[in-house]
Amino acid sequence: MSNSTIMKTNYYCPRCHTTKISEYEDTFECTKCRDSNGFPLEFEKKNIGKIPDDEILALREQGSIIGAFEELKDADKRKKFSDSLLDDDLEA
């Protein structure tokens, strides 16, 4: 009796490992985990079993990382802008 013969194809939450999920076409939502805004964590099916569980990001987390990068770019731009002003003052 091998465990591999009863291997499930069910998706599971990479955070709490429950198989109690709401399944959609390409994604599923954990019925237990919530993000900081109280929304269910939604994961892409294609990542399950391909990426280590602790590296799988919920869809909203992917979005927030992109958002953070956008902010960073803007902050960097602002800093360069203020630096250039500062340089002008120093050289004048």
Q: Does 56 bind Zn ion (CB under 5 A)?
A: no
Query: Given the rule CB under 5 A, which of 29-37, 45-53, 64-72, 74-82 is the region that contacts Zn ion?
Result: 29-37
Residue 30 binds Zn ion, judged by CB under 5 A: yes
CB of 18 or CB of 82, closer to Zn ion: 18
Closest to 29 (Cα-Cα) out of 1, 55, 48: 48
Measure the CA angle with vertex 42, ends 73 and 50; round to 5°: 85
Spatial separation of the C-alpha atoms in residues 2 and 17, rounded to whole Å: 22
Binding site for Zn ion (CB under 5 A): 13, 15-16, 30, 32-33
